Amino acid sequence: MLQDITITVPATVAAAPAAAPVTTNVALGAPAAAQQTQAVEGAADFSIQNAMNSMGVVNWAVFFALVIMSLVAWYYTVMKTIKYSRINGRSGRVTATFWQTPNAQEAIRFMEEQPSWEPFSKIALDCAQAAAHHQKSDGRLAEALNRSEFIDRALRQAVSRESQTLEDGQTWLATTGAIAPFVGLLGTVWGILMALVRLGSSGESSIKAVAGPVGEALIMTFIGLFVAIPAVIAFNYFNRTNRKLVAQFDAFAHDLHDFFATGARVGDKR
């Protein structure tokens, strides 16, 4: 009985020191938690605000250049969309009314009442004026050019003028879509260069030292693509719309030439 008590008591006393390492492990876990907190705080340095604060003169110039390019591109996009919508909404009615009007004078008067931006009425009026001018000439014009040739030249000039009007803003959209990514790339390269310079001058090996310039570089790339992609889409859409309208101009001009040169439209059974 006494031997059992003697053996049990040392076992109980020996168990007490064994619990001490548990407390030591908890204490050693505190530095690891602090390092993790510092890592999270360092990752927050990639915020947009920190990147904007790190921007230098070069990247600010790149930023404002991209903003101006984007604003002008969006202006042309909105204005040309409205313009094409108005033209397409009236072109069918204008041409149909012109050919359905039995009297040529009334048809011309209808064309004169159209707004100044409507292209089909301008082409018809130029053709009518050319035909009237050739008819009223004193004979020398008729000797140099016959009626058909004179009307054809007037129609070609009218179609060319209206086609060029449709291309307003196309050059800016094409240029923006082509060079905006490269302008953004310029800011990206400059930002990375500044990150390397800062890393070398500070002597720090942590990512926190270069977070601002690297974030700045990424922002320039994003802005360049954000400006270029809508401009390319708008240019391709307007280019396709221009080709369709120019084809309609040519078809209408051919009918006008036949009508004013021969007095009857080809295919007209009236």
Q: d(Cα 226, Cα 125) in Å, to the nearest integer?
A: 44
Whether 54 contacts 216, CB under 8 Å: yes
**Per-residue pLDDT, 235:** 96
Binned at pLDDT 50, 70 and 90, residue 202 comes out as low
Q: d(Cα 211, Cα 42) in Å, to the nearest integer?
A: 8
Whether 87 contacts 118, CB under 8 Å: yes
The model's pLDDT over 95-118, given as tens digits with 9 standing for 90+, comes to 999 998 888 888 889 999 999 899
Q: d(Cα 250, Cα 244) in Å, to the nearest integer?
A: 10
Cα torsion angle, 206, 47, 54, 69, sign: positive
**Per-residue pLDDT, 54:** 60
Q: d(Cα 123, Cα 251) in Å, to the nearest integer?
A: 11
Q: d(Cα 135, Cα 114) in Å, to the nearest integer?
A: 25
Helical H segments across 44-117, by residue range? 48-53, 57-100, 104-112
Whether 198 contacts 266, CB under 8 Å: no
DSSP state of 46: G
Percent of the chain with pLDDT over 70: 68
Give per-residue burial for 97-122: e unless 16+ CB within 10 Å, then b: ebeeeeeeeebbebbeebeeebbbbb
Phi, psi of 19 (to 5 degrees): -80, -15
User: Residue range 20-34: average pLDDT?
Assistant: 44
In terms of C-beta density within 10 A (0-12 exposed, 13-18 middle, 19 or more buried), how is residue 82 classed? exposed
**Is the pLDDT at 52 greater than 90, yes or no?**
no
Helical H segments across 113-210, by residue range? 119-136, 140-144, 147-166, 170-202
**Per-residue pLDDT, 193:** 81
The model's pLDDT over 205-264, given as tens digits with 9 standing for 90+, comes to 566 656 666 777 778 888 999 999 999 999 999 999 999 999 999 999 999 998 887 776
Q: State the chain's mean pLDDT as an integer.
A: 77
Whether 95 contacts 120, CB under 8 Å: yes
Q: d(Cα 226, Cα 243) in Å, to the nearest integer?
A: 27
The model's pLDDT over 124-155, given as tens digits with 9 standing for 90+, comes to 999 999 888 877 765 665 556 688 888 899 99
**Is the pLDDT at 48 greater than 60, yes or no?**
no
Q: Nearest to residue 79, comparing CAs of 155, 152, 166, 194?
A: 166
